Amino acid sequence: MEKDIVIIGGGPGGYVAAIRGAQLGGKVTLIEENALGGTCLNVGCIPTKALCKNAEVISTLKNIEEFGIKGIENYSIDVEKIQERKQNVIDQLVGGIHTVLSAYGVEILRGRGTILNKNLVKATLVTGEEREIPAKNIIIATGAKPTLPPIPGIHLNGVMTSNELLSFKEIPKRLAIIGGGVIGIEFAGIFNALGSEVTVFEFAPSILIKLDKDISKRLTTSLKKDGIKINTSTGVEEIKESNGSLVIVAKDKKGSIEVEVDQVLVSVGRTPVIEGLNLEGIGIELDRKRIQVNDRFETNVKGVYAIGDVNGGMMLAHEASHEGKSVAEIIMDAPVSEDRGVVPSCIFISPEISTVGITEEEAKEQGIDYKTSKFMFGANGKALSMGEPQGFVKVISTGENNRIIGVHIMGPHAADLIHEGALAIRNQLTADDIASTIHAHPTLGEAFVEAVMGLTNEAIHMVPSKR
């Protein structure tokens, strides 16, 4: 039977496209070689957030006397239990996705998909069986995998990507992390809390180079205060073995550095997964392994689409999901939201970081007349009562009419707070629109409205600026 949509890849882009396509009446087949949920659910967003919670609990225990609780200094860490809890979270979510897909009548095939032509996909199932599936439309949602740079020693035992490190059986005493991006910094926070001596090597002048500089500078200071060693403007030249340990050989502006560690995490980026799809055979255009698409996520081959990490976009799970929903609506001729420019991103470190819109540096580069305002969580009643006063909310607006164009948060529950900023930017709200909306007290959200009111020097709990 011909399908309206055949999807290769069951990650956050693929399974969302499958569900939305089926909701709109489409006959849908989803092909996934491994577990549903893809990288995000199985070896990415979800398991790391489960471990982040462990790190948060341990951090609370270390400072528990601040809350008037004594006598629990001799706690210990049960790695097996940590892994069991993490896997339970994953299994519950994977099972939920399977249930929803089945409820909508989506055919789920466990195996690899190969595109024979623009209207025919071959599924090689894990059982060895091969099936050919006629398709009106094909969506490629195969995601990405960790990049391994050409560093001598990169394949030594003990050198791993985030995929392998997530399944740790014991906590490394000394962990080196090559790459100071989101993945590297999240793992730095997790293993630092678990008790590892963590050293980060980043080639760029700062970690998290794309963040607003006010955030990245303050985070660097915070991480160093927690005992994480951070080497920026530093290139790793070699990994070698020495007396049962691994040695990172690196070079910074001052010269060579050698650091002895037990394990190495390589987190320098991700590469689209395109192997075995037969893209060259059907003439799909690539740019450095990224599938090229138009503004409707369609490749140069009509009826073949590519969504999520495989098209080399923002490489965020929620962006992949949005693209999956949009493509299903395009295929099924349903109304589609064309505005995809406002995408929040989050970093799950302590304190949390979230951002949406442009940074101050980008505003300067683009020649925008802008204003900025910051409100510190140390002046927020809810943050203080939680014992989490570190960080701030920074808001950027246009200079002429105070329209919100950027929001950057470092502090408690930053990832949950960023959506008000995303809504403000998406709907072109001004400082007055936010200020005239009553925010409940005592809440962390008050920090956002105070930062916004600071744009017009009307913040109540902030000393007025001397502009």
Q: Is 184 annotated as a binding residue?
A: yes
Distant-in-sequence contacts of 455-463, Cβ < 8 A, 24+ apart: 455/371, 455/372, 455/373, 455/395, 455/397, 455/402, 455/431, 456/402, 456/431, 456/432, 459/373, 459/375, 461/375, 461/379, 461/380, 462/375, 462/379
- 322 catalytic? Reply is no
Residue 269 annotated as lining a ligand binding site? yes
* Contact (Cβ atoms closer than 8 angstroms) between residue 187 and residue 327: no
131's CB contacts (< 8 A; 6+ apart) are 109, 122, 123, 125
Is 49 annotated to bind ligand?
yes
Q: Is 309 annotated as a binding residue?
A: yes
183 labelled ligand-binding: yes
Residue 121, marked binder = no
Q: Is 316 annotated as a binding residue?
A: yes
| Candidates 98, 408, 441, 461; catalytic one | 441
Q: Is 418 labelled a binding residue?
A: no
Rounded to whole angstroms, the Cα distance separating 203 from 107 reads 45
Residue 96 in marked binding region: no
d(CA 439, CA 435): 9
Work out the angle between the directed axes of helices 14-23 and 79-103 (0-180°, nearest 10): 30
- The tokens describing 74, both together, are 């001799």
Is residue 18 annotated as involved in ligand binding?
no
- Contact present, 375 and 392 (Cβ < 8 Å): yes
Q: How many helices (H) and strands (E) does the chain have?
A: 14, 23
- Is 181 labeled as ligand-binding? yes
Annotated binding site: which residue ranges? 49, 113, 179-186, 202, 269, 309, 315-318
Q: Which residues are annotated as a binding site for FAD?
A: 49, 113, 309, 315-318
What is the set of active-site residues? 441
